Amino acid sequence: MSDEVTGVGQPLRGLSQDPSWIVFEDEDLLVANKPAGWNTHSPSPFANEGLYDWLRHREPRWAGLGIVHRLDKETSGLIVFTKTPQAAKSLTEQFMGRQVTKEYLCVAAPRSKDRRWECQAAIAKRGDRWACLPGGQEARTTFQIEEGGPSAGPYTTLRAFPATGRTHQIRLHAAYLGMPIAGDTLYGGPPGPRLFLHAARLGFVHPSSGSPVEFRSDPGWRIDAKLAGTQDWRESWRVCPGETDCYRVGTIDSDQTQFSLDRFGPYLLAQTADGSPEDIRVRLLQDFCSGPDAEPRAVYFKRLLKRPGVAETKQASPDCILGTPSAERFEVRENGLKYLISFSEGYSVGLFLDQRENRRRWMTGHVGSGFGRLGVSNADRKPELLNAFAYTCGFSVAAAAGGWRTTSLDLSRKYLEWGRQNFEINRLHPGDHEFIFGDVFDWLKRWARRGRMFDGIVLDPPTFSISKEHGRFAAEQDYGKLADAAIRVLAPGGVLFASTNAARLAPEDFVKTLLAAARAHGRTILQQHYVPQPPDFPIRKEEPGYLKTLWLRFQ
């Protein structure tokens, strides 16, 4: 999506430390270009973070953001947040007084030859949805043909001008006039890859200067007669392109299968539990690789296995189904750091993308609004981090870049060596850090006996594992024992980061388990912050949330 802005201040485009869809920011306001499929705010404590929640916890300067209006989850486009009480008061009054200019783009199939339509149908709640009903709240919308806008077959781009701001107003009024919006199956629209509704223009009086400001945004969509073409879902999580080139591109549904698509630098990795490589190849060629901004160097296919641990390396590794195969290992960027990836060394490729935001927290020292900084050093030493179940040491690299001295512990010598290489390519001297081969429970007992303490601990165990020293570990049943052992070596004021992707362990039970372990040791929790899986791994009815993470600071 492209954007432009006129008025007070300058857009922050080009500053790699901020998300690419931040359109404008000054001391009073933050204007964002919300991607489709993202809630304005989280609907519940354990759902995906909404755009507001994600921003508020990402940067200290955004901790006090305020909401003055909302966009539907499936609607993309311009949304403004306030940063000061004065701005909140001013913008709230302007929205309530209908002094804000709002203009939307939508795609529909008009039922007449008119160029302009007026709708004044009242809106009220009926059951679990909204409807145009007599006696409801007043609602007025004007629609007109967008001259020169993308059109295909019966579908035409329309501009919508809502004079009021009722829930689902534009969608309901378009359907009421007999031209439901494409992708809006809730209100009778034809199926599509997304809801073709975009907040394209937003204008108001700046709360400090008193001058009018206006923001415009182009949705960047393409449409065809079958409503199959849109670029919006592609690359929608390019938060900071200069810093991160690995992320979940999307989950694509087809009649044959459902699969996820991840980007690792110049390569794409498609993953599915069913379907054939040929199914995936055809779908990708039709819906992704044909785009001018796609052009991956190669596409890999990985079948999701129920028991990946028993598969041979070659069988578990992804297969190259399009393009030129990658080198045995290649570099990707995440939060400005480098990590080595391999598509030829087994089921896991070297980096779990759903932990990107948590690695960033260890690197920046900022967990979220209201949670104190991480890694505050004493004058005579660096803070010490234990990364249990370290895998290829992703958390350790991020923490080391943030000033921590790290100890990486894992049962695999191969992965620890891989981790050392991740340190080296980031110019972090491995000799300044510890890499320990062994069982986590065994080493936690040793350190407890010796009185060794850590200022931070990362617990991100596999859902299931077996070691000679400890035996069987299943996160659903044994996480409490793991937390108990870790708390014994956590220093006063220390931070425990606990995470699990055990799908059967409910978020509420996960949190209760950790708090119970703290109480058993008589430790007081000073601060806590729960984080679900990141927004590029959406939680839906079809795909329940699996990743649960909790940050705890102990007295």
- Condensed to tens digits (0 to 9), the pLDDT of residues 49-95 reads 999 999 999 999 999 999 999 999 999 999 999 999 999 999 999 99
> Percentage of the chain with pLDDT > 70?
87
Q: Where in the sequence of the chain do the CATH 3.40.50.150 domains occur?
A: 352-554
* Cβ 487 vs Cβ 523: under 8 Å: yes
* Token pair for 492: 């006063």
What residues are paired with 76 via a beta bridge? 198
Note the pLDDT tens digit of each residue in 276-315.
677 666 666 655 555 444 567 888 988 876 655 545 566 7
CATH number of 2-218: 3.30.2350.10
The three-class DSSP label of residue 203 is strand
pLDDT of residue 228: 56
CA distances from 117 to 72, 111, 179 (A): 23, 11, 11
* Cβ 171 vs Cβ 185: under 8 Å: no
Q: Where in the sequence of the chain do the CATH 3.30.2350.10 domains occur?
A: 2-218
Taking only the tens of pLDDT, the chain with its 555 residues reads 444 433 333 322 223 467 888 999 999 999 999 988 899 999 888 888 999 999 999 999 999 999 999 999 999 999 999 999 999 999 999 999 999 999 999 999 998 889 999 999 999 999 989 999 999 999 999 999 998 877 788 899 999 999 999 999 999 999 999 999 999 999 999 988 889 999 999 999 999 999 999 999 999 887 777 675 444 444 455 667 778 999 988 776 655 556 788 999 999 998 887 766 776 666 666 555 554 445 678 889 888 766 555 455 667 789 998 889 999 999 999 999 999 999 998 888 999 999 999 999 999 999 999 999 998 666 678 999 999 999 999 999 999 999 999 999 999 999 999 999 999 999 999 999 999 999 999 999 999 999 999 999 999 999 887 777 777 888 889 999 999 999 999 999 999 999 999 988 999 999 999 999 999 999 999 999 999 998 888 887 767 789 999 999 999
Catalytic residue among 18, 28, 53, 72: 72
Q: Where in the sequence of the chain do the CATH 3.30.750.80 domains occur?
A: 246-333
What residues are paired with 512 via a beta bridge? none
246-333 topology per CATH: Transcription Regulator spoIIAA (3.30.750)
* 18 is known as an active-site residue: no
- Long-range contacts for 507-512 (Cβ within 8 Å, ≥24 apart)? 507/45, 507/46, 507/532, 507/545, 507/548, 508/46, 510/479, 510/548, 510/550, 511/550
- Centroid of chain to Cα 486: 29
Q: CA 555, CA 549: separation in Å to the nearest integer?
A: 20
pLDDT of residue 224: 74
β-strand pairing of 116-119 with 141-145: antiparallel
Q: How many CB atoms lie within 10 A of CB 190?
A: 18
pLDDT of residue 309: 54
Side by side, which strands form the sheet with 319-323? 246-253, 258-264, 267-272, 298-303, 319-323
Identify residue 527 by its one-letter amino acid code: Q
* Cβ 157 vs Cβ 105: under 8 Å: yes
Handedness of CA 260, 266, 533, 303 (dihedral sign): positive
pLDDT of residue 15: 30
pLDDT of residue 113: 87
Residues making up the chain, counted from first to last: 555
Instruction: Identify which of 362, 369, 409 has the alpha carbon closest to the alpha carbon of residue 390.
Output: 409
pLDDT of residue 237: 58
pLDDT of residue 193: 81
CATH number of 352-554: 3.40.50.150
